[in-house]
Protein backbone atom coordinates (compact mmCIF):
# COMPACT_ATOMS: atom_id res chain seq x y z
CA UNK A 1 0.00 0.00 0.00
CA UNK A 2 2.79 2.36 0.86
CA UNK A 3 4.43 1.81 -2.55
CA UNK A 4 1.10 2.41 -4.32
CA UNK A 5 0.61 5.64 -2.37
CA UNK A 6 4.10 6.83 -3.27
CA UNK A 7 3.49 5.99 -6.93
CA UNK A 8 0.21 7.93 -6.89
CA UNK A 9 1.85 10.95 -5.28
CA UNK A 10 4.67 10.82 -7.85
CA UNK A 11 2.17 10.69 -10.72
CA UNK A 12 0.32 13.69 -9.30
CA UNK A 13 3.57 15.62 -9.02
CA UNK A 14 4.43 14.82 -12.65
CA UNK A 15 1.00 15.93 -13.86
CA UNK A 16 1.32 19.13 -11.86
CA UNK A 17 4.77 19.79 -13.31
CA UNK A 18 3.51 19.18 -16.86
CA UNK A 19 0.60 21.53 -16.22
CA UNK A 20 2.95 24.19 -14.91
CA UNK A 21 5.22 23.77 -17.95
CA UNK A 22 2.21 24.25 -20.20
CA UNK A 23 1.20 27.42 -18.39
CA UNK A 24 4.76 28.72 -18.57
CA UNK A 25 4.87 28.04 -22.32
CA UNK A 26 1.63 29.93 -22.82
CA UNK A 27 3.17 32.95 -21.11
CA UNK A 28 6.52 32.68 -22.91
CA UNK A 29 5.29 32.07 -26.46
CA UNK A 30 3.80 35.15 -28.13
CA UNK A 31 3.25 35.42 -31.89
CA UNK A 32 0.49 38.02 -31.73
CA UNK A 33 0.43 41.78 -32.19
CA UNK A 34 -1.82 43.17 -29.47
CA UNK A 35 -4.17 46.14 -29.45
CA UNK A 36 -7.19 47.33 -27.52
CA UNK A 37 -10.70 47.90 -28.81
CA UNK A 38 -12.64 51.11 -27.97
CA UNK A 39 -14.48 49.23 -25.21
CA UNK A 40 -11.22 48.09 -23.64
CA UNK A 41 -11.02 44.50 -24.86
CA UNK A 42 -7.65 43.10 -25.93
CA UNK A 43 -7.50 42.41 -29.67
CA UNK A 44 -4.94 40.24 -31.48
CA UNK A 45 -3.51 39.94 -34.95
CA UNK A 46 -0.93 37.75 -36.65
CA UNK A 47 -0.62 40.15 -39.59
CA UNK A 48 2.49 42.27 -39.92
CA UNK A 49 4.51 43.90 -42.68
CA UNK A 50 8.14 43.08 -43.41
CA UNK A 51 10.19 45.89 -44.95
CA UNK A 52 13.72 45.91 -46.36
CA UNK A 53 15.79 48.94 -47.27
CA UNK A 54 18.84 48.65 -49.53
CA UNK A 55 21.22 51.24 -50.95
CA UNK A 56 23.24 51.08 -54.14
CA UNK A 57 26.01 53.07 -55.81
CA UNK A 58 27.24 53.59 -59.37
CA UNK A 59 23.80 54.46 -60.71
CA UNK A 60 24.34 56.40 -63.93
CA UNK A 61 20.68 56.45 -64.97
CA UNK A 62 17.88 56.52 -62.43
CA UNK A 63 15.43 56.49 -65.32
CA UNK A 64 16.46 52.93 -66.20
CA UNK A 65 15.64 51.86 -62.65
CA UNK A 66 12.25 53.56 -62.82
CA UNK A 67 11.48 51.82 -66.10
CA UNK A 68 12.37 48.43 -64.59
CA UNK A 69 10.16 49.12 -61.56
CA UNK A 70 7.27 50.18 -63.80
CA UNK A 71 7.59 46.98 -65.81
CA UNK A 72 7.62 44.96 -62.58
CA UNK A 73 4.18 46.37 -61.75
CA UNK A 74 2.77 44.56 -64.79
CA UNK A 75 3.90 41.14 -63.60
CA UNK A 76 1.64 38.63 -61.83
CA UNK A 77 3.10 39.70 -58.49
CA UNK A 78 3.66 43.50 -58.60
CA UNK A 79 6.67 44.85 -56.73
CA UNK A 80 5.61 47.20 -53.89
CA UNK A 81 8.49 49.63 -53.43
CA UNK A 82 9.78 53.20 -53.31
CA UNK A 83 12.96 54.42 -55.01
CA UNK A 84 15.07 57.25 -53.54
CA UNK A 85 17.91 59.40 -54.82
CA UNK A 86 20.76 59.56 -52.28
CA UNK A 87 21.54 63.09 -51.07
CA UNK A 88 25.08 62.15 -50.07
CA UNK A 89 26.08 60.25 -53.21
CA UNK A 90 25.41 61.63 -56.72
CA UNK A 91 25.43 58.06 -58.02
CA UNK A 92 23.53 56.61 -55.07
CA UNK A 93 19.98 55.32 -54.78
CA UNK A 94 17.94 53.56 -52.13
CA UNK A 95 15.08 51.08 -52.44
CA UNK A 96 12.50 50.16 -49.80
CA UNK A 97 10.36 47.10 -50.57
CA UNK A 98 7.69 45.52 -48.39
CA UNK A 99 5.39 42.53 -48.08
CA UNK A 100 3.42 40.57 -45.48
CA UNK A 101 5.06 37.42 -46.85
CA UNK A 102 8.71 36.95 -45.84
CA UNK A 103 9.19 34.65 -48.85
CA UNK A 104 8.77 37.71 -51.08
CA UNK A 105 12.29 38.87 -50.20
CA UNK A 106 13.97 35.63 -51.25
CA UNK A 107 11.82 35.08 -54.36
CA UNK A 108 10.18 38.01 -56.14
CA UNK A 109 12.48 40.77 -54.85
CA UNK A 110 15.62 38.66 -55.09
CA UNK A 111 14.91 37.71 -58.71
CA UNK A 112 14.18 41.34 -59.58
CA UNK A 113 17.42 42.65 -58.08
CA UNK A 114 19.49 39.98 -59.83
CA UNK A 115 18.37 41.30 -63.22
CA UNK A 116 19.61 44.44 -64.99
CA UNK A 117 19.60 47.31 -64.34
CA UNK A 118 19.74 46.72 -60.56
CA UNK A 119 22.28 43.89 -60.93
CA UNK A 120 24.64 46.41 -62.55
CA UNK A 121 24.69 48.63 -59.47
CA UNK A 122 27.14 48.38 -56.56
CA UNK A 123 25.40 47.29 -53.34
CA UNK A 124 26.10 49.25 -50.16
CA UNK A 125 25.47 46.56 -47.51
CA UNK A 126 26.22 48.93 -44.64
CA UNK A 127 22.83 50.55 -45.30
CA UNK A 128 20.80 47.34 -45.52
CA UNK A 129 17.94 47.35 -42.99
CA UNK A 130 15.26 44.72 -42.45
CA UNK A 131 12.43 44.77 -39.95
CA UNK A 132 8.78 44.11 -39.19
CA UNK A 133 5.92 46.35 -38.13
CA UNK A 134 4.73 45.96 -34.55
CA UNK A 135 2.09 47.23 -32.15
CA UNK A 136 2.49 48.85 -28.73
CA UNK A 137 -0.65 47.29 -27.26
CA UNK A 138 -3.19 50.13 -27.19
CA UNK A 139 -3.97 50.51 -30.93
CA UNK A 140 -7.70 50.13 -31.74
CA UNK A 141 -7.13 49.21 -35.42
CA UNK A 142 -4.28 46.75 -35.86
CA UNK A 143 -4.57 46.50 -39.65
CA UNK A 144 -4.17 50.28 -39.88
CA UNK A 145 -1.17 50.25 -37.53
CA UNK A 146 0.60 47.19 -38.91
CA UNK A 147 -0.20 47.30 -42.63
CA UNK A 148 -1.96 50.32 -44.10
CA UNK A 149 -0.23 53.22 -42.34
CA UNK A 150 3.37 52.07 -42.93
CA UNK A 151 2.63 51.50 -46.62
CA UNK A 152 0.86 54.85 -46.91
CA UNK A 153 3.78 56.66 -45.26
CA UNK A 154 6.31 54.88 -47.44
CA UNK A 155 4.73 55.91 -50.71
CA UNK A 156 3.01 59.19 -49.94
CA UNK A 157 3.83 61.55 -52.84
CA UNK A 158 3.36 64.53 -50.52
CA UNK A 159 6.17 63.27 -48.25
CA UNK A 160 9.05 62.40 -50.60
CA UNK A 161 11.93 63.16 -48.23
CA UNK A 162 13.14 60.34 -46.01
CA UNK A 163 15.80 59.56 -43.42
CA UNK A 164 16.27 55.82 -42.79
CA UNK A 165 18.42 54.53 -39.94
CA UNK A 166 18.82 51.58 -37.53
CA UNK A 167 19.23 51.88 -33.78
CA UNK A 168 20.12 49.74 -30.80
CA UNK A 169 19.10 50.53 -27.25
CA UNK A 170 21.44 49.98 -24.33
CA UNK A 171 20.74 46.86 -22.30
CA UNK A 172 20.13 49.01 -19.23
CA UNK A 173 16.84 50.19 -20.75
CA UNK A 174 15.44 46.66 -20.52
CA UNK A 175 16.22 46.61 -16.79
CA UNK A 176 13.91 49.54 -16.11
CA UNK A 177 10.41 48.96 -14.80
CA UNK A 178 7.52 48.98 -17.27
CA UNK A 179 6.36 52.33 -15.89
CA UNK A 180 9.82 53.89 -16.26
CA UNK A 181 10.01 52.65 -19.84
CA UNK A 182 6.58 54.08 -20.66
CA UNK A 183 7.55 57.49 -19.25
CA UNK A 184 10.75 57.61 -21.29
CA UNK A 185 9.04 56.46 -24.48
CA UNK A 186 6.20 58.95 -23.97
CA UNK A 187 8.70 61.83 -23.93
CA UNK A 188 10.29 60.54 -27.12
CA UNK A 189 7.00 59.84 -28.89
CA UNK A 190 5.51 63.19 -27.97
CA UNK A 191 8.09 64.98 -30.11
CA UNK A 192 7.24 62.91 -33.17
CA UNK A 193 3.51 63.42 -32.70
CA UNK A 194 3.97 67.19 -32.40
CA UNK A 195 5.82 67.33 -35.72
CA UNK A 196 3.15 65.09 -37.23
CA UNK A 197 0.32 67.38 -36.11
CA UNK A 198 2.19 70.28 -37.71
CA UNK A 199 2.35 68.38 -41.00
CA UNK A 200 6.15 68.40 -40.95
CA UNK A 201 6.83 64.69 -40.76
CA UNK A 202 5.87 61.27 -39.57
CA UNK A 203 7.65 57.99 -39.00
CA UNK A 204 7.77 54.30 -39.83
CA UNK A 205 8.95 52.08 -36.97
CA UNK A 206 10.13 48.51 -37.48
CA UNK A 207 11.37 45.93 -34.98
CA UNK A 208 14.49 44.12 -36.16
CA UNK A 209 15.25 41.78 -33.24
CA UNK A 210 17.11 38.80 -34.67
CA UNK A 211 16.68 40.14 -38.22
CA UNK A 212 19.58 42.59 -38.43
CA UNK A 213 23.14 41.45 -39.11
CA UNK A 214 24.47 44.15 -36.76
CA UNK A 215 22.09 43.21 -33.93
CA UNK A 216 20.12 46.45 -34.08
CA UNK A 217 16.77 46.54 -32.29
CA UNK A 218 14.80 48.84 -34.57
CA UNK A 219 14.68 50.48 -37.98
CA UNK A 220 13.23 53.98 -38.17
CA UNK A 221 12.24 56.11 -41.15
CA UNK A 222 11.35 59.78 -40.83
CA UNK A 223 9.40 61.02 -43.85
CA UNK A 224 8.09 64.46 -44.69
CA UNK A 225 7.46 67.10 -47.36
CA UNK A 226 10.79 68.87 -46.63
CA UNK A 227 14.16 67.68 -45.36
CA UNK A 228 14.98 70.23 -42.64
CA UNK A 229 12.17 69.25 -40.21
CA UNK A 230 13.38 65.64 -40.32
CA UNK A 231 16.84 66.75 -39.23
CA UNK A 232 15.23 68.91 -36.54
CA UNK A 233 13.35 65.89 -35.19
CA UNK A 234 16.60 63.95 -34.77
CA UNK A 235 18.26 66.96 -33.14
CA UNK A 236 15.40 67.46 -30.70
CA UNK A 237 15.28 63.78 -29.78
CA UNK A 238 18.98 63.79 -28.89
CA UNK A 239 17.96 65.59 -25.69
CA UNK A 240 15.46 62.95 -24.57
CA UNK A 241 16.31 60.42 -21.87
CA UNK A 242 15.97 57.54 -24.30
CA UNK A 243 18.57 58.88 -26.73
CA UNK A 244 20.94 60.57 -24.27
CA UNK A 245 20.99 57.80 -21.64
CA UNK A 246 19.70 54.57 -23.14
CA UNK A 247 20.78 54.59 -26.79
CA UNK A 248 23.82 52.48 -27.60
CA UNK A 249 24.03 53.12 -31.33
CA UNK A 250 22.24 54.93 -34.17
CA UNK A 251 22.96 54.86 -37.91
CA UNK A 252 24.29 54.87 -40.49
CA UNK A 253 21.75 57.34 -41.84
CA UNK A 254 20.47 57.18 -45.42
CA UNK A 255 19.03 60.51 -46.58
CA UNK A 256 17.09 60.57 -49.82
CA UNK A 257 14.18 61.86 -51.85
CA UNK A 258 11.63 59.58 -53.49
CA UNK A 259 11.55 59.72 -57.29
CA UNK A 260 9.27 56.73 -57.83
CA UNK A 261 6.60 55.05 -55.70
CA UNK A 262 4.45 52.03 -56.52
CA UNK A 263 0.75 52.75 -56.75
CA UNK A 264 -1.55 52.61 -53.73
CA UNK A 265 -3.86 49.63 -53.87
CA UNK A 266 -5.52 49.35 -50.47
CA UNK A 267 -8.78 51.23 -49.90
CA UNK A 268 -7.31 52.67 -46.67
CA UNK A 269 -4.27 54.02 -48.51
CA UNK A 270 -6.32 56.11 -50.94
Q: What is the DSSP string of 227-254?
A: SHHHHHHHHHHTTSHHHHHHEEEE-PPE
Predicted pLDDT of residue 228: 98
What is the C-alpha to C-alpha distance for residues 176 and 182, in angstroms, rounded to an integer?
Answer: 10
CB contact set of 269 (below 8 Å; sequence gap of 6+): 148, 151, 152
Q: What is the 3-state composition of the chain as percent helix, strand, coil, each rounded to the nearest 5?
A: 40, 25, 35
For 76, other C-beta atoms within 10 Å of its C-beta total 5
- How far CA 182 is from CA of 28, 110, 203, in Å, comes to 22, 39, 19
pLDDT for residue 1 is more than 50:
no
With beta carbons less than 8 A apart as the criterion, state whether 249 and 171 touch. no
> What are the beta bridge partners of residue 219?
166, 206
Is the pLDDT reported for residue 247 higher than 90?
no
More confident call, 6 vs 241: 241
pLDDT value of residue 240: 87
Distance CA 270, CA 265 (A): 8
* pLDDT, averaged across the chain: 89
For residues 52 and 184, the model is more confident at 52
Q: CA gyration radius for the chain?
A: 23
Tell the CATH superfamily of the 45-261 domain: Apc35880; domain 1 (3.30.70.1030)
The answer to whether residue 19 scores a pLDDT higher than 80 is no
Is residue 11 scored above 60 in pLDDT? no
pLDDT single digits (tens) 216-225: 999 999 999 9
- Average pLDDT (231-249) is 89
Q: What is the mean pLDDT of residues 184-195?
A: 86
How does pLDDT run across 83-139, given as a tens digit for each residue? 999 999 999 999 999 999 999 999 999 999 999 999 999 999 999 999 999 999 889
Which 3 state secondary structure label does DSSP give 135? coil
Would the pLDDT of 200 be above 80? yes
DSSP single-letter state for residue 7: H
User: Which three-class secondary structure state does DSSP give residue 224?
Assistant: strand
Please give the average per-residue pLDDT across 149-167, as a whole number. Answer: 97
d(CA 48, CA 32): 9
Report residue 23's pLDDT band, with 50, 70 and 90 as the boundaries. Answer: low
Amino acid sequence: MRNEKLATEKAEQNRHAESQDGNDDAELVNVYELGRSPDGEVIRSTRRLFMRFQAFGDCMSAQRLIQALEEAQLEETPLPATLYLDVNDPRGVGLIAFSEDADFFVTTLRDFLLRPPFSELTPKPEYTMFGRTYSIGYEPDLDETLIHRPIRNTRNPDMPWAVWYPLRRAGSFEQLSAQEQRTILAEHGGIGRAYGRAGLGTDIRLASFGLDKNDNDFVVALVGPELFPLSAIVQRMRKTKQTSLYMEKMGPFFVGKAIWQSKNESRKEK
